[in-house]
Amino acid sequence: MTKDQYGVWTPSANDIESAKVTELGRLLGVSDYDALYRLSIDEPERYWRTVTDYCGIVWQRPYDRLVDLSDGMEFPRWFVGGELNWVDSILARAADPDLRDRPAIVAEHEDGTVGSIPYRELPEAVGRFAGGLAELGIGRGDRVGLLMETGIESIVSLLALSHIGAIAVPLFSGFGVDAIVARLASCSATALLGTTGFHRRGRWIGVLAHLREAAANLPDLSSIIVKRQSADEELPAGWHDWNVVSASGVAHAAKASARMSPDDPFMIIYTSGTTGKPKGAVHTHGGFPVRIAHDAAVHFNVGRGDVFCWPADMGWIAGALVATTALMRGAMLVCYDGAPDFPDWSRMSRLIERHRITHYGSAPTLIRGLAANAAVSMRGDLSSVRLLITAGEGIDPEHFQWYQQNFGHGAAPVINYTGGTEVSGALLSSVVVKPIVPSGFNTASPGIVVDVVDDAGRSLTGQIGELAVLGPFIGMTKAFWQDRERYLDSYWRTIPGMWIHGDLVIRDSEGNHFLRGRSDDTLKVAGKRLGPAEVEDVLLELPDIAEAAAIGVDDAVKGQKLVVFVVPATGGARDAAALSVAAGKHIELRLGKPFRPEKVHVVSQIPKTRTSKSMRRVIRNIYQNRPPGDLTALSNPDALDEIRAAIGQ
């Protein structure tokens, strides 16, 4: 590995030779990554047959051909004629003599307690709980809510639901009653798996009251199963204890999994929008798990013996993605249930040190927090780290390089990864066999043809455009739950023949891509289009600014005017007026006079989702005195009051 003066990471000969994607390339008979990518597009049948063999996908019946497009490219059927239950590919690891005695899951909780389960015990644990679910009448096609903190029980629950052919509906552990009811009512869920509560920053967060109130508003629920944190916690009459249900399914433990079509759903996961009800993305046995197993090898370079950790809540797509990444590749999954800065900012580096984590993932917001508290956050031994991941939103080059230099001790590559709830894994990412530019993506994911286009669908280079996918791909949602029209409107009808993903991207002449925000957050000042992330990256160059959010608001003269909210860095400038002036001048200097902001507001926090994404649309709606929109994903409601105060509402 080498780095030039611009921070570009360049792989060594050993990096390339030992990479999992290089192993895959040898099986395909190609000499380099670019040839592998071309083959994935030109010969998809050969590519995916080799991938599924390489990744150890277990088939109940081998498939005949890769895809059937008779219902249109918007509704592909993958692995035609085959049968598989994706959980079999994980449980088969128990028979591997090199893996059976290794931990499959290690779960560390905020209070410091740690539990683990080896691969050899995973089939019985999943089979037992699957049997207990079956005894309660839960079976094939039933939708089941899953609201549990990340840990052994929640992952066993997810696998057990798929084992019997039921459909998991993940729910964020911090959701309020309305958000729970909206999602479970939308899919007519008949059962709910929950928890009595968990700890955050040393405080007990009870969940039972929310579950009780939600259940009262969900008449279709026939079974509620709850994991108790202590034996003395009482459950409402008729509810079931998670451990009792598991114990009741012993006779089922050795039974085979349900035979499933690759098109059968195993998960419905909801995303929030600014208007309307949440969208239920449907993921299938032959979609999401196959794509994630592929990405785990190709992009994350994960294999047996590795130790994978990416703290994520089971209620979002990252929860299932993280579990699938590790377990489908025979790695050890390290879960963490708690605040990343408790009891102090060293928690993540200490976690890495304790478990000798080799692959670590983080959202950009957490990276910025770690960087702002580097004196503490770096106290743990990070020498085991071989690869880092960042995902969830765009990251500025400065923090990208800080992450690599510090958590990656200057040697580990940082894999930028972007896709979303509706596409399973990556549309754009990086591979460790090509140079990686700070905050960039060095490839489209194999098997996916992407472009950057203008409003008419014309290809762009060196200009901001829409991220477009030019055909169907493994991992794409099987529409939205019982709402095909909304799915078509969301992705396929903006520019006919293209999946328009909603991300703004710029592609350089060397083929690197850079996120520039969501397209519905696009700024267009005096006819000039600008991504909010471009403004925010410029602001984060100033050492006195820790966070930034840029929005475009209506203006009779310019069409839109730029308004910016910034959060001062710890120990930075205390004079809000001076910071506001400095921020405005810096934007003008870096982006040009037309983009000098109309106003810079200094606040202590920016509204964020529970996955740490800035809620620019909510800020924009409040600024223009409109209803804020869907707030179910908002993690810090106090920030809205501060935004209103800043703008004088």
pLDDT in tens, 203-216: 998 999 999 999 99
Map out the domains of the chain as residue ranges: 340-412, 522-646
Compute the half-sphere exposure of residue 56: CA atoms within 13 Å on the CB side of its CA.
19
CB 602 within 8 Å of CB 506 = no
Give residue-wise pLDDT tens across range 394-426.
Answer: 899 999 999 999 999 999 999 999 998 999 999
CB neighbourhood size of 73 (10 A): 14
The CA distance from 134 to 188, in Å, is 18
CB 433 within 8 Å of CB 299 = no
**CA 211 → CA 4, 152, 180, 193, 610, distances in Å?**
54, 21, 8, 10, 19
Residue 560's pLDDT is 82
Residue 274's pLDDT is 35
Residue 407's pLDDT is 98
Fold equal for 340-412 and 522-646: no
- Taking 50 as the pLDDT cut, the residues of the chain under it are 273-275
The CA distance from 366 to 594, in Å, is 32
- The CATH label, of 3.40.50.980, 3.30.460.80, 3.40.50.800, 3.40.50.620, for the domain at 340-412 is 3.40.50.980
The CA distance from 571 to 548, in Å, is 17
Residue 215's pLDDT is 95
What would you report as the CA-atom Rg of the chain, rounded to the nearest whole angstrom?
A: 24
The CA distance from 221 to 499, in Å, is 36
CB 321 within 8 Å of CB 425 = yes
For residue 182, give the amino acid letter.
A
The CA distance from 264 to 185, in Å, is 21
Name every residue whose Cβ is closer than 8 Å to that of residue 32 and which is 6 or more positions away in sequence.
Answer: 25, 433
Q: Nearest-CA neighbor of 279 among 45, 37, 486, 62?
A: 486
DSSP of 182-244, one letter per residue? HHHHHTT--EEEEESEEEETTEEEE-HHHHHHHHHT-TT--EEEEE-SSTT----TT-EEHHH
522-646: CATH architecture: 2-Layer Sandwich (3.30)
CB neighbourhood size of 485 (10 A): 10
The CA distance from 173 to 149, in Å, is 6
Q: Nearest-CA neighbor of 309 among 273, 350, 263, 270?
A: 350
* Cis check: omega of the bond before 103, within 30 degrees of 0: no
Residue 275's pLDDT is 39
